[in-house]
Structure 1
Amino acid sequence: MEFENQTNSRDFILLGLFSSSQTSLVFFSFLCIIFIITVTENTLMILLIHKNLRLHTPMYFLLSHLSFMDILHISNIVPKMIANFLSGSRTISFAGCGFQVFLSLTLLGGECLLLAAMSYDRYVAICNPLRYPILMNEHVSILMAFASWLVGTINSTVHTAYALQFPFCGSRAIDHFFYEVPAMLKLSCVDTSHYKRGMYVSGIIFLVIPFSIIFASYVQVLLTVLQMKSSEAWKKSFSTCSFHMIVIMMYYGPFIFTYMRPKSHHTPGQDKFLAIFYTILTPTLNPIIYSFRNKDVLTAMKNVLLTNFLLKR
């Protein structure tokens, strides 16, 4: 009742990850640090790709879009959490809910397709290197990035428009740290089974199929590398693929588990814990795994630092 009295009939309450207590201050500080690190490293990655001509390749072009999506994604969620914690108010307007769920679904769907495109790029580069200029040129990479944004936006528009029309009964308190569709459906007082079936279809398109493409691509890459005589190349490729698959599992696994299991199996604590992986942790890890472990990126960063240092002197 205390929460409900803080809102009008159109507002919702985000119960969040933590309460405004001294014990949660540690988690709040950690969240702020993670947000700053994520935005900084992804912004740095975009600037490096833009300024260094050696990074003007399809792979890094797709990586720049991934970094931009990660910046938008974490900025769509964390600042609101920080503002609510500092103000002591957990309200979010109906319009704010609509914007948050629309941008979240757009970026989640777009990133799923973009990660599949990136795995295809690595597959062509290693398994069909002679055909790479034909199969993965500038026009193809632009088309892949554009399709990821477009299809993600269309899917998000349909789901957002459909989900926001459901009537809500009783409490408007959402036991989550952002306005996510599965948590919102629990508040609806009508049958949402038709919408859930639509979510399963979207899950197959944006989760199951891209994940299958990524897994198949990395299997082919490893099989190709195993045929090479160089043990150093085998170790390097195995290490790279292993790190990539760990991040992929951290992103797709919780995402699939959240959006493709029955409504009756959802618990607030479990949903919030799983959402941390694909909304906060993977945007932080993506630049490290995909970019900063790469020799070309490290060389470009070194050149930028040396150039700026010499210019100042």
Structure 2
Amino acid sequence: MEDVIRQTAVSGAQEHRNRFPLLSSMSMAISPAVQAACRAHDADNALVLELVQQYFDVTSCWTLTDAAERGHLALVKTLGVTAPMGTAPEVLDYAAENGHLEVVQWLHEHRDEPCSLDAMDLAAANGHLEVVQWLHSHRDEGCTSDAMDLAATNGLLPVVRWLHQNREEGCTDAAMDDAAANGHLDVVKWLHSHRDEGCSKNALMDACYAGQSDVAKWLMQFRSEGSASAAIEAAAQGGHDQLVKWLVDHAFLRDSYTPPFLRISMYYEPEDDLSDSDSDSGEEDLVIMMAPCSLEDSEEVQSTLAVF
């Protein structure tokens, strides 16, 4: 069918493929008369294609669930009339997950299949706030804490705010943990200021491992979860040398991160001495050695850090 569209559209082929996706499901060829009309009257291409889409029966190529997931409202209406009730239990979930509000509304009005908690959870996860709001007002299934957790994970602050203001499910510490890991500092700050769930040590560890420097630095200053040594190790494992150096310079300024003090020595060794690599590049790796020490050693620790 891709070849047919290329033959029938003169200057707007790609636009027509985007506007009429159902044509791609047809296995039949369009008649030469239609092709000639399209070639001769480019301005009428959209109308011709719309008529073709309207009158060719493509329902055998689709299920109701597939049509709803793709957002093909006209096809949903056709299949929704003929498909027995109960044969598409997840149809509304899929439409909501993919943000097809008109499809969700039509299914709600004309079909008896219930939706699940996934409908609002996944709509929130994908940032489809209008769908979330409509489900909140017109359906009773509700959502779980996954809705806010997943919205935070994906950096969707408007969705997080709306759920906070209008729903009671709340979130878990995974919201800040995963927002931190993905570098969504605005979400992390908002959760810190407006929610009580907080985060786990994974927030700092994962942010450091992923090299989310701004998030890691903020967490070091405003949250207490996670140890400095683990943060440095995570950043080093992720290969983020600049973040490692920042953590060494700043991680021990707060007592909550220094029970007990850590002895730190940093030195460089050639890469070939640290691995079995055959590389002769001479590149140097940052090596951090840490061992517990007593409070009496604090001056030595500070003098070691002062070198950097």
Question: Same fold by TM (over 0.5)?
Answer: no
Point out the structure with max Rg over C-alpha. Answer: 2
Task: Report the TM range for the smaller structure's normalisation.
Answer: under 0.3
**TM-score under structure 2 normalisation?**
0.23
Structure holding more helix per residue = 1
Kindly indicate whether structure 1 or structure 2 has the higher relative contact order, using CA contacts under 8 Å at least 6 residues apart.
1
